[in-house]
Amino acid sequence: MQQHLSYYKGKKVFITGHTGFKGSWLMACLHHAGANVKGYALAPDYDGLFKLLAPFQIAESIIADIRDKARLQKEIDSFQPDFIFHLAAQPLVRRSYEIPAETFEVNVTGTANLLEAVSKLPSKCTLVIITTDKVYENKEQHILYKEEDALGGYDPYSASKACTELVVSSFRNSFFNTGKYEQHHKAIASARAGNVIGGGDWSKDRVIPDIVRSLQSQEGINVRNPSAIRPWQHVLESLNGYLLLGALLDENPSLYSKPYNFGPIPEDHLSVKELVETVIKSWGSGNWIDSSDATQIHEAGLLKLDISRANKELNWTPKLSAREAIEWTINWYKTTLQEQANYSFQQINNYFAL
């Protein structure tokens, strides 16, 4: 187990969005590390990893809305967390076109609610706010986006996450200023991760769940944007980055209170077509259909991240190639339902042993 994982042993860690795909994996990692975990989120939209982990009772679970300011304040006050990892969000690009105002309300106001609640805590607290690789003003060019690049967002989801970054920056300056840390004892950083894949995700309109559903039903895989290039990475890669950032931030707030990109190395960005063909090879069967439609809603065709800051300042680097990440993911989905929870812990063990 890596040293930064053991840093969380015995610590009180509050996770928003713990019922979601990434939140469930984070909850499992922190349980594995020996942390005392409390989750706050809506009930899951689907039977994924969260339900599989329920029998293990690895965290206190509060089912509530991030927009419920009073309830959120109450749950944070009663727990007095050492750390907060904020993942609660409306996380889907295509759904953001259906509920644009709600997407902004959840992602932007929800984050402000959390940070205001933390500003009232009397004790020390370290926060990692999870946004997305899509916060940048994407010019759809073969460039690597750095943390200092302009924020933007074509679709409501991306724009809402860019706004979230502004909220984080505002609270950092106004309430959690590093120059006054000895007065407030709060440290805050944001993490911008690439397109995360892994077992236990059954979200609608996400590429891996859509592919697996087609493979399981022995239907052709409809691929909307086969030429689109994304920074694919296994969920444990980004979580490793978040946990490392949290530990270092807790030790040295003035040095690490800033945004960080987490993604693959520059030469390891795959197209959707390459992803699908790698999945089919790993699954052992299947075929795909180009279902591109000029009238479909806008989704970014090209997005790459510069991860040099995380590499240089955090000593973080991906352990798995994109193709290995795909293989790990498909191996999870090929595991029987009865073994998937145990296999998740096995993958955590295997990953942190690399």
Model pLDDT for residues 71-118, shown as the tens digit of each residue: 999 999 999 999 999 999 998 888 999 999 999 999 999 999 999 999
- Between 61 and 141, the more confident residue is 61
CB 37 within 8 A of CB 9: no
Mean pLDDT value of segment 36-53: 95
Answer yes or no: is pLDDT of 294 > 60.
no
Cα 38 to Cα 6: distance, rounded to the nearest angstrom: 18
| pLDDT at residue number 297 | 58
CB 64 within 8 A of CB 239: no
| pLDDT at residue number 350 | 96
| pLDDT at residue number 107 | 98
Largest CA distance in the chain: 60
Domains of the chain: 9-195+232-264+299-321 (3.40.50.720)
Mean pLDDT value of segment 242-252: 98
DSSP notation for 132-187? -GGGB----SS-PBPTTSPB--SSHHHHHHHHHHHHHHHHHHHTS-GGGHHHH-EE
Cα 128 to Cα 82: distance, rounded to the nearest angstrom: 12
Answer yes or no: is pLDDT of 181 > 60.
yes
pTM equals: 0.95
CB 45 within 8 A of CB 21: no
| pLDDT at residue number 1 | 47
Answer yes or no: is pLDDT of 300 > 60.
no
pLDDT tens, residue by residue, 315-338: 999 999 999 999 999 999 999 999
Mean pLDDT of the chain: 93
Mean pLDDT value of segment 193-210: 90
293: confidence class by pLDDT, cuts 50, 70, 90: low
CB 181 within 8 A of CB 344: no
230: confidence class by pLDDT, cuts 50, 70, 90: confident
| Residue 210: closest CA among 219, 199, 221 | 221
Answer yes or no: is pLDDT of 290 > 90.
no
Element at 97 (helix H, strand E)? helix 93-98
Mean pLDDT value of segment 190-194: 92
Q: Exposure of 67 by Cβ count < 10 A (0-12 exposed, 13-18 middle, 19+ buried)?
A: middle
Answer yes or no: is pLDDT of 142 > 80.
no
Q: Give the pair of three-digit tokens for residue 272.
A: 């959707």
| pLDDT at residue number 246 | 98
pLDDT tens, residue by residue, 344-354: 999 999 999 99
- Between 45 and 102, the more confident residue is 102
Residue 37 bridge partners (DSSP): 13
